Amino acid sequence: MEPILGSVTLTLSRWQFATTIIFHFFFVPLTIGLGFIVAVLQTAVYRTHDERYEHLLRFFGKLFLINFAIGVVTGIVQEFQFGMNWAQYSAFVGNIFGPPLAIEGLLAFFMESTFLGIWIFGKGKVSDRIHLLSIWMVVLGSSLSAAFILVANSWMQHPVGYKIDHATHQAVMTNFLAIFTNELFLTTLAHVLLASLITGSAVALGIAFYQMKREGSKRVFALGARIALVVFFVASIAMALDGSAQGVVTVKDQPMKMAAAEALYNTKSGAPESLLTIGNLKDQVLFQITLPHVLSLLATNSWNGKVQGINQLQKADVKKYGPGNYVPTVWLEYWNFRIMAGLGAVIIAIAVWGMWLLWRKRLDSSKWFRRVAIYAIPLPFIANTTGWIFTETGRQPWIVYGVLRTSQGVTRNLSPWDVGITFVGFIALYVVLGAVDLAMMLHYSRKDLATINGELPPPDGSSGQEIDSLVY
Amino acid sequence: MHVTGLQLFWFVLIGVLWSGYFFLEGFDFGVGMLLPVIAKSDLERRGLINAIGPIWDGNEVWLIVAGGATFAAFPLWYSTMFSAFYLALFVVLVALIVRGMSFEFRGLRTSTRWRSNWDRVNFSGSLLASLIWGVAFADLLKGIPLNAHHVFTGNLLNLLQPYALLGGLTMVALFVLHGSTFLSLKTTGELHEKAVGAARRVAPIATLVLLAFLTWTYFVARSHGNSGAVPGFIPVTAFLLIAAVSWLVREHLNGWAFVFTGVAILALTVTIFMTLYPNVITSSTAFSDSLSITTAASQRYTLNIMTVIAAIFTPFVLLYQGWTYWIFRKRITLPPTGAKVEA
């Protein structure tokens, strides 16, 4: 294939992968987080038999289900795309990257799908205890699935436990345990699970406040708002701790990514943290707000620690890997990192404010907090997306950091037309799915509690009809 | 190089995963394809969908695990197959996605048009996916253009060869039959009658198509110098089982009819894998360029780890998946006509 066409295929494949995974990654954190809240609510129903919990359970259960399937079906695309668009990559890393994917299917997907079926249809057919267990198994299954895919992803970011077999031109596994205890994996897993709890609880919190304006359902949703707020608060505080731990690990394992995130061109001791830059990041800074020494503190846990700069790292990489450009797109890293971390700070502020109102017993009456809670719903989604773009583009030009370049991983037998057609197809399909999903979410989150209850079978499962009507 | 025991084990295991996938998702695809044929009202269609509601998603995971296991145990098989079938797999993905959404979305609105549109989506998705899986496996057998580096050098037209299209048709016919025997077990009253009627009409067609496909497979296998598998005990069994379904349905032995269609699908999948051995993809450029099990396989360490994990966890999965079939063993009964059913 001619080089130009090859590079078009590569670019299109990269955009296709990025687009489809970002879309998938709207729904994964939402379903993990919302699933956790639904499971908490069902546990409360099981223990107290309080009808307010039952109303909340059915309301949020419905919202959870609307999003669940779309997360599952868009996940299949990701598994297939490795082979479809990144065949050279798959052939090279299959010995290492394949096992976590296979284990994800065996351990996580079967659990998730089977117990979801029991949860949706099993009311009255299994005991209440088993029915409660089934929703927790769904949450466990989706969290395990996140864990296994992050094992695979973390290996791409920071390869461990492998050697290169030159005879077959493949990376082969030498230490299974090392791959599953990769330090980058452990901090990333916590990061993604906490982000999921934040996303799910932010959605539940905003919708609960929206519903509280109705006099009839105020009593029920005030309770829902409290539960969501507590999850939101605990997860966002934990996230701050994990975020800084992850920063330290990333500086160690992927110094170039963090240097780009800070637009730090030259190695510096006692480096300042840049909060905001206006102008060209490299040499024409017009205006900048910085916190002295904070970058060193965050990156190395020491006030005057030495942080490596882009120029020095590039030089070292050329020496190590040969000529080439080893610097990711700096503005992309700088701004995505700032948006993610900035939104994290906003989320913590909202959470603390909400807890303060709760403590002063003014949570339900604060008009301002109500507005903020509703408008804050998109924030975690933006933070998730920018965080994902930051971490994935920060590994470029590598598909496996320091081992295989992205350009070496793309499928050889595809023309730009092949990838172009599927790219347009995925975009068209995802726009329609996204629009339908959003419309359904809005439709159901605005619905009157009484209407929803009228549509669903009574909680004891005795619908009086032989046909289940919860879902279909 | 000859195939090691561990490699053979994983080749068999992948065959088992695909067999399980075709057995299980086969009947839920069949139900999807039968929606417009045997269900006239919205209520009837919901009855059919409810018959597979709790289990279709779990059935589909067999595909995901088959894909993942191929990636882990045979990276070159996975990468060559998925990149060669690029556009076809894109269509499969779209089909599976919209079909999955149809289950979730159809009940969210009461409008009849909304629901029948999603049912049409379910039908098309089930049909396309069944067809393409049949085409793809027949292609692996008959051969696709691969060069000496096992890179696909053909285009979409190479994949749509007559033998492969017959393979696709065979899968569709078998899945429709499998779906109708499944429904005859899961329904009562008028729906049950219609499911039995569908099985009776489809069975002769499926028998003929399968016979044609197996006969052609015999010549394909012979041209590979691998005539041991066809006509062997297993493909002949597949044919006899399907041929017997008409009779079983007439005698109201619906449980046996379902077992027979299921086992026939298993036998057909096994036949395909046996004919493929010791290769995983046949090259139509030169038979010696075919991708073999040995070349495609992961190294011993990876295969060992995977074997241990599969041995520990597979029993649990089989147990709880089997348990859901037990929980939802009851037949679907529709409320009497005129009764109000809310969504």
Neighbours of B287 (CB within 10 A): 13
Of the candidates A99, A105, A121, the beta carbon closest to that of B64 is on A105
Average pLDDT of chain A is 87
Task: Lowest mean pLDDT of A107-111, A263-267, B124-128, name the range.
Answer: A263-267
Tell me, what's the pLDDT at A453?
A: 65
Instruction: Mark which residues 261-300 of B lie under 8 Å from A by CB.
Output: 298-299
DSSP A222-239: HHHHHHHHHHHHHHHHHH
Sign of CA dihedral A118, B126, B248, B237: negative
Average pLDDT over residues A289-296: 74
Q: What is the DSSP string of B84-136?
A: HTHHHHHHHHHHHHHHHHHHHHGGG---HHHHHHHHHHHHHHHHHHHHHHHHH
At A43 the pLDDT is 94
pLDDT at A281: 67
The residue of A106, A125, A169 whose CB has the most chain B CBs within 10 angstroms, and thus the best one to mutate to test that interface, is: A106
Q: CA of A270, closest CA in chain B: separation in Å?
A: 45
Residues from chain B that touch A465, judged by Cβ atoms under 8 A, are 335, 339, 341
Q: What is the mean pLDDT of residues B174-185?
A: 95
Q: Give the count of Cβ contacts less than 8 A between chain A and B.
A: 252
Q: Cα–Cα distance between B7 and A466 in angstroms, integer?
A: 49
Does residue B341 register a pLDDT over 60?
A: no
pLDDT of residue A456: 56
- Asked if residue B231 has pLDDT above 90, the reply is no
Answer whether residue A459 shows pLDDT above 60. Answer: no
- Hey, are the CB atoms on B83 and A110 less than 8 Å from each other? no
pLDDT of residue B228: 64
Q: For B72, which of A98, A116, A418 is closest by C-beta distance?
A: A98
What is residue A38's predicted lDDT score, i.e. its pLDDT? Answer: 95
Q: Kindly tell me if the per-residue pLDDT of A290 is higher than 80.
A: no
User: Which residues 162-181 of A are in CB contact (within 8 Å) with B?
Assistant: 165, 170, 172-174, 176
Chain B stretch 139-178, residues whose beta carbon is closer than 8 A to a beta carbon of chain A? 151-153
Enumerate the β-bridge partners of residue A405: A398
- Out of A59-73, A440-454, B130-144, pick the least confident: A440-454
pLDDT tens digit string along A69-85?
A: 898 889 899 989 999 99
For B41-54, what is each residue's pLDDT tens digit? 888 888 888 888 88
Given this model, what pLDDT does residue A284 score?
A: 64
CA dihedral A75, A80, A84, A86 (to 10 degrees): 70
Q: Tell me if residue A457 falls in helix, strand or coil.
A: coil
Rounded mean pLDDT of B247-252? 89
Q: What is the DSSP letter of A405?
A: E
A360 touches chain B (CB under 8 A): no
Q: What is the mean pLDDT of residues B265-275?
A: 93
Whether the per-residue pLDDT at A363 is higher than 60: the answer is yes
Say which residue, B337 or B59, is predicted with more confidence. B59
Closest CA in chain B for residue A437: B105
Q: A160-174, A196-210, A292-306: which has the minimum mean pLDDT?
A: A292-306
Q: What is the DSSP string of A316-377?
A: HHHHHH-SS-----HHHHHHHHHHHHHHHHHHHHHHHHHHHHHHTT-TTT-HHHHHHHHHTT
Structure tokens at A338: 């700032």
Q: Is the pLDDT of residue B1 over 70?
A: no
Say what the pLDDT of residue A470 is.
Answer: 43
Residue owning tokens 């965050």:
A298
- ipTM summary value: 0.87
Among B69, B93, B77, B89, CA closest to B146: B77
The overall average pLDDT reported for chain B is 89
Q: How far apart are the first and last CA of chain A?
A: 49
For an interface test with A, give the residue of B115, B291, B298 to mutate (most A CBs within 10 A).
B298
Mean pLDDT (whole number) for B83-90: 93
Whether B337 shows a pLDDT value over 90: the answer reads: no
| Amino acid at residue number A396 | Q
Q: What would the DSSP string read from start to end of B206-222?
A: HHHHHHHHHHHHHHHHH
Tell me: the pLDDT tens digits for A183-196?
899 989 999 999 99
Evaluated on CA atoms A404, A408, A414, A418, the torsion sign reads positive
Residue pair A95/A171 in contact (Cβ under 8 Å)? The answer is yes
- Please write the tens of the pLDDT for every residue from A317-358: 899 988 989 999 988 998 999 899 899 999 999 999 999 988
Chain A positions in Cβ-Cβ contact with residue B153 (cut-off 8 Å): 413
Cβ-based neighbours of B86, under 8 Å, separated by 6 or more: A84, A411, A413, A414, A418, A422
Mutate: best of B60, B93, B301, B334, partner A, most A CBs <10 A: B93
Question: pTM, whole model, 2 decimals?
Answer: 0.90
Q: Dig out the tokens for B267 from the structure.
A: 């036998």
Note the pLDDT of residue A4. Answer: 66
| Residues 6 or more apart whose Cβ sits within 8 Å of residue A271 | A262, A264, A293, A295, A296, A299, A305, A307
Q: Is the pLDDT confidence value at A388 over 60? A: yes
Judging contacts by C-beta atoms under 8 Å, the chain A residues touching residue B328 are: 117, 121-122, 125
Confidence of residue A1 (pLDDT cuts 50, 70, 90): very low
Q: Which of B43, B63, B310 sits opposite A106 (nearest CB)?
A: B310
Residue of higher predicted confidence among A294 and A93: A93
Put simply, the answer to whether A98 touches B313 (Cβ < 8 Å) is no
Cross-chain Cβ contact B83/A84 below 8 Å: yes
**Residue B343's pLDDT band (boundaries 50, 70, 90)?**
very low
> For residue A126, what are the CA distances in angstroms to A20, A51, A117?
37, 21, 12
- What single-letter amino acid sits at B248? L
pLDDT in tens, A16-35: 999 999 999 999 999 999 99
pLDDT digits (tens, 9 = 90+) for A411-438: 988 889 999 999 999 999 999 999 999 9
Q: Is the Cβ–Cβ distance between A399 and A156 less than 8 Å? A: yes
- Preceding peptide of A292 cis, ω within 30°: no
Looking at residue B104, what is its pLDDT?
Answer: 85
Stretch A402-407: mean pLDDT: 90
Contact between chains at B151 and A412 (C-beta distance less than 8 A): yes
* B124 contacts B198 by C-beta, under 8 angstroms: no
